[in-house]
Structure 1
Amino acid sequence: MHRVEHVMGFPVSLRVDDEGDFAAAADAVFGRLREADARFSPFRADSEVSRLDRGELSVSEVSPDLAEVLALCEEYRVATGGAFDVRLPGRGLDPCAVVKGWSVQRAADLLSAAGARRFVLNAGGDVVAVGGPWRVGVRHPDHADRLCTVLEITDGAVATSARYERGDHIVDGRTGRPATGLLSVTVVARTLTEADSVATAAFAMGAEGAAWAAARPGCEVFVVDAERAVVRTPGLPVAGEPSATA
């Protein structure tokens, strides 16, 4: 089964290579992502995040899901010395850097619970892969038609933070300015919640983010810095030609 929908502002593709009928599980996957967008998008006036930001809800009144997301945001703020911050001065609360990976991982967990044993869920280039090996290509930060490397993932997740899709959208919370020093950060981790959050947090840290991400337990990284130098951890699961691009 192969299905593609546009959710949360980007294309999401689901490929299931198992025997059996997983149509209902696929419906649940995309339904979960639409629900997350409705509840946690800072761009929707009626979302829980927007209501909290306007003071219509207190922190003690938010849902357990949003409380979990906010706790993750705070964990990474502290871990990066404030470089990763979802409450930047002059801006509204924006937990999207955590919500994307968290919600996509939860959606993927629905497939596993439904009995799917071999599938890949690709959300705007961030990938959850189960029952591989699956090959995931990492885009070159300067050339859209070239790859830096190709990864082989069996059970895990890959996320990339870079400037090439949305420009200088990641801000260093310590300075309030767009993060500099890195061109792209790709992280391989057990879950997309961790891979996506670590990739964004490392990018926000700038040049020091490469070593910080590489030191995170359970994470393998591929980083291209502003001088086009590459930092790669020894355990990075490198493969051959790709079947998906992160």
Structure 2
Amino acid sequence: MRRLEHIMGFPISVRIDDENAVTEDTDPAFAWLREVDARFSPFRQNSEVSRLGRGELAPHELSADLAEILDLCEEYRVATDGAFEVRLPGRGLDPCAVVKGWAVQRAADLLTAAGAARFCLNAGGDVVAADGPWRVGVRHPERADRLCTVLEITDGAVATSARYERGDHILDGRTGRPATALLSVTVVAPSLTEADATATAAFAMGAEGIEWAADREGCEVFAVDADRRVFRTPGLPVTAAPRS
């Protein structure tokens, strides 16, 4: 069973390898993602995030979900000595770097709760996989028609932060300037919450972010720096040579 929708500004697709699966099995997961978009998008004027950013909500008025998101943001800010920052001057509150992975991981949990056993959930190139093996390609940072490597994921998540889709959109919170020392960072982790936030945080940190991400428990890393040097951790689950 396959399903595709555009939510939060990117395509989200799911494939469930079960001949008895039906579209309705995925309804709770996709409903949750639409809810997240409405509640936590900084681009929606009436979202909880936008209201908080404008000072219209007191800390005690936050939902439990937003409080959890902000706690994660603070955890990564502290862990990166400020490189990961969701409250940059002149830009307002933007926790998207945490919201995406957190929300999609919960959607994957809803698929599991609905009875899906073997599935692959792809959110704009970031993936949660269950009961694999699943093959996940890592795009070349400068060639859209090529892969750098192919990963084999059984149960876990893969996330990539890069400059090739949105340009220099990731800022180093310590300087307020675009992070340009890396071309791409891919992180494999047990959950997409961890993989996505770690990849973004590492990219914001620059060259030092590769080792920082590699040292995080449960994380494997593939990265390409601005000098086109490739870095990979020994435990990276590579399954095949890249194909053009």
Q: Output the TM-score relative to the length of structure 2.
A: 0.97
Q: Which amino acid aligns with 2:161?
A: S
Q: For 1:164-217, what per-residue CA distance to the aligned partner results, in whole angstroms no more than 9, with x for missing partners?
A: 000000000000000021100000000000000000000000111111111111
Could you tell me whether the CA contact under 8 Å between 1:135 and 1:241 is conserved in 2?
A: no
CA distance in 1, matches of 2:38, 2:8: 9
Tell me how many residue pairs correspond in the alignment. 243
Deviation at 1:241, TM superposition (A): 7.0
Aligned residue for 1:158? Answer: 158
- How far apart, in 2, do the equivalents of 1:36 and 1:241 lie? 37
Amino acid at match of 2:93: L
Task: Give the aligned partner of residue 195 of structure 2.
Answer: 195
Cα deviations across residues 75-123 of structure 1 (Å, max 9, x unaligned)? 0000000000000011110000000000000001001111111000000
1:10-32 residue CA offsets vs partner (Å, 9 max, x unmatched) = 00111000132342221111111
1:239 is paired with a residue of what secondary structure? strand
Offset of 1:240 from its aligned partner?
A: 2.3
Match of 1:186 in 2: 186
Secondary structure (helix, strand or coil) at the match of 1:75 reads helix
Question: For residue 217 of structure 1, what is the aligned residue in structure 2?
Answer: 217
Contact 2:3–2:23 (Cα < 8 Å) also in 1: no
2:124 is aligned to: 124
| 1:73 matched residue in structure 2 | 73
Identity of aligned residues (%): 77
Rounded to whole Å, the distance in 1 between the matches of 2:126 and 2:110 is 17
The CA deviation at 1:134 is 0.2
Structure 2 letter corresponding to 1:139: R
Greater mean deviation of Cα atoms: 218-227 or 12-21: 12-21
Q: What residue in structure 2 maps to residue 139 of structure 1?
A: 139
Shift of 1:59: 1.7
Structure 1 runs of 4+ with >3 Å offset: none
3-state SS in 2 of match to 1:78: helix
Show structure 1 runs of 5+ residues with no match.
none
Q: Which amino acid aligns with 2:148?
A: C
1:86 aligns with 2:86: yes
CA contact (8 A) 1:132 1:154 kept: yes
